[in-house]
Structure 1
Amino acid sequence: MAVETINQTSPVFDTSGKALKSGIDYYIKPAGTDKGGRLTLINREPKLSPLYVGQGNISGLPFHFKPFFTGETVVRESRDQMIISSVSTHCRRFSSWSIVTANAEDQRKLIVMREPARGKVPDSIYFRITRSQPEVDGNSYILRWCPTDVCPNCTFADCGNIGSLVASRGKRFLALNGSELPVVFERARG
């Protein structure tokens, strides 16, 4: 991992007003109550794998963050972060969010859970958190994909916000440039 070389940015705050800490589990949920449930893992097709990140029932699954810069313990705005789930399923153990092209027809990019590749740091697994403008509900944020800490000299044509995409059968997936979905972070207890 990289050693931090740039100025500190503002911390991301949870629903109780405390800064998010790396390695601590948080529920990610819509800031507006009418925007669906907490984030979870869902099947896109009837088959079992892969699992995509989307909105599900009220309980959802907790996720934690791993900053790109070595030694960072506070999750900061506009900084690259891995978003990780330690949930094991019958398919395999999934770890981090990754952006993938879901199908060749529409080229829509969805968020899937997968094990990071060994060796080279893939830019597809790093996301950013920016403050929602205007704020929807207290400390509300937008999730973005544009990994410029990972590759500061790269040009990413697909940079954009992560939003909600309602698919057939009413499933709600997270997608690059989907309908805007301001979120808040609620610390998981236990």
Structure 2
Amino acid sequence: MEVISIKRFMLPFLLVALSITSSFLIKAQDVREPVLDVSGNAVRTGVNYFILPAGRGNGGGLHVASIRNRTNPLVVSQNADESALGSSLRFSPVDPKENTVRLSTDMNVKFTSMVISDSSTVWRIYTELIPQRYLVTVGGVVGNPGRETLGNWFKIDKYEDAYKLVYCPGVCNICRPFCGDIGVLVENGKRVLFVGRDKPLKVTFHKL
């Protein structure tokens, strides 16, 4: 009888232990791999970085430019001169408690080394400058994930031996946004960032 009592006691204990272990494993799998800078360190929130193209001869860093005689909004552009670092940026993951930028995770991107008098420096998607083109511009907002801020969220994914920027927000369960990689479109001699299904801009992250 004593052996039977021990077995009856152990069974629910084992079931609880298995449940806790399974929950831990599921949470561990949900933690995505961190994005690394060129020094091999995790990219952090609250820290300034330069986004630069991978490899030589592929242009310089990122800044803003005006196109088609429009100064509002300004588009995110790439310097043609590869020696130009561009403007520094910070990343803000959708989870405000997260201090590491992780792969395939929604985040806001904000220029930190510039001030624009009539606009924020947060990245967003804008479709009215060039018809049927999803350009990356400034003028977005940080936080408040949902339908109203759908155009303000970007992701970083691995691409070959470096990374790529992606627009495919997951902050609205009922929304069906256009998704694509961030590439470069030449408009009147200016290299502007846009969402497309062509070759993405392969990038690396350099801590300021």
TM-score (norm 1): 0.83
Between structures 1 and 2, the one with greater helix share: 2
Deviation for aligned residue 1:119: 6.6
Partner of 2:3: none
Q: Which has the larger radius of gyration?
A: 2
Structure 2 residue ranges without an equivalent (≥5): 1-26
Partner of 1:155: 176
Deviation for aligned residue 1:117: 8.5
Pairing 1:50–2:76 present = no
Q: Secondary structure at the match of 1:53?
A: strand
Partner of 2:23: none
Partner of 2:201: 181
- Counterpart residue identity of residue 75, structure 1: V
Higher RCO by CA contacts (8 Å cutoff, separation 6 or greater): 1
* Superposition map of 1:1-190 within 5 A: 7-56=30-79, 57=81, 58-86=84-112, 87-89=114-116, 91-103=117-129, 106-116=131-141, 121=146, 122-132=149-159, 134-135=160-161, 140-148=162-170, 150-156=171-177, 158-168=178-188, 170-177=189-196, 179-188=199-208
Contact 1:165-1:179 at 8 Å conserved across structures: no
Contact 2:122-2:142 at 8 Å conserved across structures: no
Counterparts in 2 of 1:60 and 1:117: CA distance versus 1, 3 Å: closer
- Counterpart residue identity of residue 157, structure 2: T
Deviation for aligned residue 1:175: 0.4
Output the aligned Cα RMSD.
Answer: 2.2
Deviation for aligned residue 1:43: 1.3
Deviation for aligned residue 1:23: 1.6
Identity of aligned residues (%): 32
Q: Deviations over 1:43-101 (max 9, x none)?
A: 11344332110102513000100000130000000000100123213x33523100010
CA distance in 2: counterparts of 1:23 and 1:109, whole angstroms: 28
Contact 1:84-1:96 at 8 Å conserved across structures: yes
- Counterpart residue identity of residue 146, structure 1: C
Q: Secondary structure at the match of 2:123?
A: strand
CA distance in 1: counterparts of 2:67 and 2:194, whole angstroms: 12
- Counterpart residue identity of residue 108, structure 1: R
Q: Secondary structure at the match of 2:30?
A: coil
Q: Deviations over 1:23-44 (max 9, x none)?
A: 2110001112222110111111
CA distance in 2: counterparts of 1:153 and 1:19, whole angstroms: 32
Shift >6 Å, 4+ stretches: 117-120
Structure 1 residue ranges without an equivalent (≥5): none
Contact 2:108-2:142 at 8 Å conserved across structures: no
